[in-house]
């Protein structure tokens, strides 16, 4: 085949051509007349989301997009229409069918439902995990990736050190290693035209003189000259829990403001390849400054004032960097007096981290914002209350915005079947426009593939097309992964999902819970029966059997915890931990052992010795 591109100097357009050649070369017979394809870019209209047009036949044809990235998305969409299924990160986890030339006939146009469609890194990740995930994203219709902090040190070091898994020998990891992986990740994102989101956490710790690239405690005490810049709590200024990234600033102190503003503007000036720069406060709540000057206002008012100063500095420097600001913890409460002067500079990110995942958003539900009491807030669990906070901010900001949500960050471990959490994701995403939001970024483990990657598959395809039929997506996914006996896998996982305890695992509700105990008792029995029965051959079925064995152990521990038998529950948790630690070398891309153990200790309530 012959493929022409309109802009030979554009790396994303050339990459799209290489991908089309590669996949069609594997799918179509080598004989026959030459097929000629043209890939081209048309000007994007004001405010237009990713859009492309496909017009191909056995003789060739054209794919046109409103950006090079859109052309690449069009290539992958055509491949999907021809039967390709990209069901997990990695080329070995793709279904690429053999076709006759006559199958190559398609004519259609598509435009993305939402502007922001991405994933944010979490968990413990190797270099390969990060790069393979980036490669996977556009194949599902995603267009962005968010590397929290200024580099992925927090996530890379967890894996290299094998935190929570003493069975694997620790490997060295330093900031230089993380910078090297960051450079590779940015290169691969640029090749695919993916939008880069960066920073967010760490600004307050850096303003206090630390290299705040993780949530780790600092062995170094706060320097004496930095102490006045830290938030005052109970009459004392210092590091909160010893963690720079969790320590707020005294935002009424001119020096603290100046240091933070300079850090943000200097980073924006040096990092021209960043599409969205996140500027957040400390990652903990009920620890904002209590000094007399700060008490005269609210954290949200101070935050908006700070953002306006950053905007002025960036404008003076001639930088058009987009700044993402955060509705999270204390910042869920909208400002009382301040308002963003130039809203076009900013993107609003709504992050309801304490929400329930037992049900989806109802755009018509009514809720109220509770009164703000400094350092005495309670994070909202119910969706109605969370949406009330969003509407309060939307009354003061009508610009670009997206939802930053956590379905695959903690709660998903309470859904051993992944059908329930996939449905929540689908239903949430399909309603984003009715919530007044223009997209979604999932803060999640990249290794969220046990039992499979169905939730991310559903997320990506529904973010591109909010009208995707969930049942059809599930059927095509299971057929690609499990083959002729896909229905058997679906019945097992659907039955497990009927017994989900997402909120319980995430620490929501009382720890003694007879209903959760009963569900987990039944889930453990289902998992044992499945793992012990004869199963079809193949890697996907082997992984499903492994998941069932892990699920039985986790369900047994949750059952005991929910019955109030805490000592027995912790012993059962340790049995589960030993099992997944022993299996991590073989199942590393599919289950994040660090995160499973960290979440179930920190949120679910297990208190094991291990």
- Locate tokens 């009164």: which residue? 371
Final residue before a domain boundary, out of 447, 481, 515:
481
379 falls within a domain: yes
Give the number of domains in the chain: 3
Residues 46 and 147 in one domain: no
549 falls within a domain: yes
Whole-angstrom Cα distance, residue 452 to residue 418? 8
152 falls within a domain: yes
b/e string for 65-90 if b means 16 or more Cβ within 10 A?
A: bbbbbbbbbbbbbbbbebebbbbbbe
Tell me if 409 sits within 8 A of 384, measured CB to CB. no
Tell me if 27 sits within 8 A of 98, measured CB to CB. yes
Q: DSSP characters for 132-147?
A: HHHHHGGGGT--EEEE
Residues 139 and 96 in one domain: no
The secondary element (H helix, E strand) that includes residue 522 is helix 514-532
| Token pair listed for 244 | 């720079």
Tell me if 239 sits within 8 A of 187, measured CB to CB. no
Residues 154 and 227 in one domain: yes
Whole-angstrom Cα distance, residue 279 to residue 604? 30
Residues 426 and 436 in one domain: yes
Q: Where are the beta strands (DSSP E) in 188-231?
A: 195-200
Residues 217 and 231 in one domain: yes
Whole-angstrom Cα distance, residue 416 to residue 498? 9
The secondary element (H helix, E strand) that includes residue 444 is strand 439-445
Final residue before a domain boundary, out of 70, 93, 111:
111
Partners of 116 in the β-ladder: 439
Determine the pLDDT at residue 610: 61
Determine the pLDDT at residue 273: 87
232 falls within a domain: yes
Q: Where are the beta strands (DSSP E) in 458-557?
A: none
Residues 206 and 329 in one domain: yes
- Tell me which residue range forms the domain holding 176: 116-481
Tell me if 459 sits within 8 A of 406, measured CB to CB. no
Residues 385 and 448 in one domain: yes
Whole-angstrom Cα distance, residue 12 to residue 14? 5
b/e string for 554-580 if b means 16 or more Cβ within 10 A?
A: bbbbbbbbbbeeeeebbbbbbebbebb
609 falls within a domain: no
Residues 101 and 205 in one domain: no
Whole-angstrom Cα distance, residue 139 to residue 125? 21
Residues 457 and 491 in one domain: no
Note the pLDDT tens digit of each residue in 534-548: 999 999 999 999 999
279 falls within a domain: yes
| Token pair listed for 196 | 């880069």
The CATH number that applies at residue 37 is 3.30.379.10
Determine the pLDDT at residue 476: 98
Dihedrals phi, psi of 295, to nearest 5 degrees: -65, -15
Determine the pLDDT at residue 609: 76
Secondary structure tally for the chain: helices H, strands E: 18, 17
610 falls within a domain: no
Residues 132 and 220 in one domain: yes
Residues 51 and 82 in one domain: yes
**Which parts of the chain sit beneath pLDDT 50?**
none
Note the pLDDT tens digit of each residue in 509-538: 999 999 999 999 999 999 999 999 899 999
Dihedrals phi, psi of 423, to nearest 5 degrees: -70, -40
Question: Distances from the Cα of 576 to the Cαs of 445, 573, 579, 580, 607, in angstroms?
Answer: 19, 5, 5, 6, 13
Final residue before a domain boundary, out of 451, 481, 511:
481
The CATH number that applies at residue 153 is 3.20.20.80
462 falls within a domain: yes
Q: To the nearest 10°, report the CA torsion of 388, 392, 397, 403.
A: -20
Whole-angstrom Cα distance, residue 579 to residue 551? 11
Residues 473 and 488 in one domain: no
The secondary element (H helix, E strand) that includes residue 4 is strand 2-5
């Amino acid at each position: 085949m012959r493929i022409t591109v309109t802009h030979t100097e554009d790396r994303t357009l050339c990459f799209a051509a290489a991908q089309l050649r590669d996949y069609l070369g594997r799918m179509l017979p080598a004989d026959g007349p030459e097929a000629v394809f043209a890939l081209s870019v048309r000007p994007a209209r004001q405010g237009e989301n990713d859009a492309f047009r496909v017009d191909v036949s056995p003789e060739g044809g054209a794919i046109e997009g409103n950006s090079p990235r859109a052309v690449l998305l069009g290539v992958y969409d055509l491949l999907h229409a021809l039967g390709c299924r990209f069901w997990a990160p990695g080329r070995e986890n793709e279904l690429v069918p053999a076709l006759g030339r006559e199958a190559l006939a398609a004519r259609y146009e598509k435009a993305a439902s939402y502007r922001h469609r991405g994933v944010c890194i979490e968990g413990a990740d190797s270099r390969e995990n990060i790069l393979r995930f980036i490669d996977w994203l556009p194949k599902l219709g995603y267009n962005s990736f968010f590397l929290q902090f200024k580099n992925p040190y927090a996530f890379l070091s967890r894996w290299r050190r094998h935190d929570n898994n003493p069975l694997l020998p620790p490997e060295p990891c330093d900031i230089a290693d993380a910078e090297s992986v960051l450079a590779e990740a940015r290169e691969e994102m640029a090749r695919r035209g993916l939008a880069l989101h960066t920073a967010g956490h760490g600004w307050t710790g850096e303003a206090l003189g630390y290299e705040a690239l993780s949530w780790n405690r600092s062995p170094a005490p706060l320097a004496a000259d930095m102490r006045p810049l830290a938030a005052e709590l109970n009459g004392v200024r210092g590091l909160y829990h010893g963690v720079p990234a969790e320590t707020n600033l005294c935002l009424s102190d001119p020096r603290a403001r100046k240091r933070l503003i300079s850090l943000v503007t200097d980073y924006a000036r040096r990092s021209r390849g960043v599409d969205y720069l996140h500027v957040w406060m400390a990652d903990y709540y009920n620890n904002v400054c209590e000094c007399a000057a700060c008490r005269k206002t609210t954290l949200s008012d101070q935050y908006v004032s700070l953002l306006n100063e950053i905007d002025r500095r960036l404008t003076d420097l001639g930088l058009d960097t987009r700044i993402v600001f955060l509705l999270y913890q204390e910042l869920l409460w909208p400002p009382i007096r301040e308002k963003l002067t130039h809203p076009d500079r900013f993107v609003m990110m709504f992050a309801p981290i304490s929400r329930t995942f037992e049900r989806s958003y109802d755009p018509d539900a009514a809720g109220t914002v509770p009164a703000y009491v400094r350092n005495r807030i309670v994070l909202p669990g119910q969706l109605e209350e969370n949406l009330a906070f969003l509407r309060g901010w939307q009354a003061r900001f009508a610009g670009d915005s997206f939802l930053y949500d956590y379905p695959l960050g903690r709660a998903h471990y309470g859904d051993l079947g992944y059908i329930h959490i996939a449905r929540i994701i689908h239903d949430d995403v399909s309603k984003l426009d009715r919530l007044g939001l223009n997209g979604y970024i999932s803060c999640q483990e990249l290794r969220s593939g046990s039992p499979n990657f169905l939730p991310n598959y559903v997320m990506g395809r529904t973010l591109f097309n909010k009208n995707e039929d969930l049942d059809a997506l599930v059927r095509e996914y299971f057929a690609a992964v499990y083959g002729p006996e896909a229905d058997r896998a679906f019945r097992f996982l659907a039955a497990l999902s009927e017994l989900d305890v997402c909120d319980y695992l995430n620490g929501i509700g009382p720890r003694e819970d007879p209903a959760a105990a009963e569900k987990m008792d039944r889930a453990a029995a289902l998992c044992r029966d499945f793992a012990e029965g004869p199963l079809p051959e193949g890697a996907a079925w082997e992984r499903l059997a492994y998941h069932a064995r892990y699920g039985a152990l986790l369900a047994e521990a949750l059952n005991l915890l929910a019955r109030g038998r805490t000592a027995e529950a912790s012993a059962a948790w340790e049995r589960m931990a030993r099992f997944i630690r022993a299996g991590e070398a073989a199942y590393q891309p599919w289950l994040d052992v660090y995160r499973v153990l960290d979440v179930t200790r920190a949120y679910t309530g297990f208190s094991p010795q291990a």
